[in-house]
Amino acid sequence: MYIIDRIENNIAIIEDTITKKIIEVNIKYLPDNIKEGNILTFNGKEYKINTQDEIERRKKIQDKFNRLKN
């Protein structure tokens, strides 16, 4: 699983969530509608946005934030 950290000059800076390795990928190899924070999977040929994992991750982050506020 990969997370898009940021996009600079048509290059997406992506973090591998397991190894924490940072890689750079030209956005022409990524889905058209990518944005910072998207979670991607890679099947050996192409990257795909993983919407379900993204929703779950955002919920966990929001839950942690809410616990810190209380």
Residue 53 is part of which domain span? 2-69
For residue 67, the Cα-to-chain-centroid distance in whole angstroms is: 24
Per-residue pLDDT of the chain (70 residues; tens, 9 = 90+): 999 999 999 999 999 999 999 999 999 999 999 999 999 999 999 999 988 877 787 788 888 888 888 7
Whole-model pTM: value is 0.76
**Predicted pLDDT at 9:** 94
> What DSSP letter does each residue of 7-70 carry, written as one string?
EETTEEEEEETTT--EEEEEGGGS-TT--TT-EEEE-SS-EEE-HHHHHHHHHHHHHHHHHHH-
- pLDDT at position 39: 93
**CA-to-CA distance for 11 and 69, rounded, in angstroms?**
36
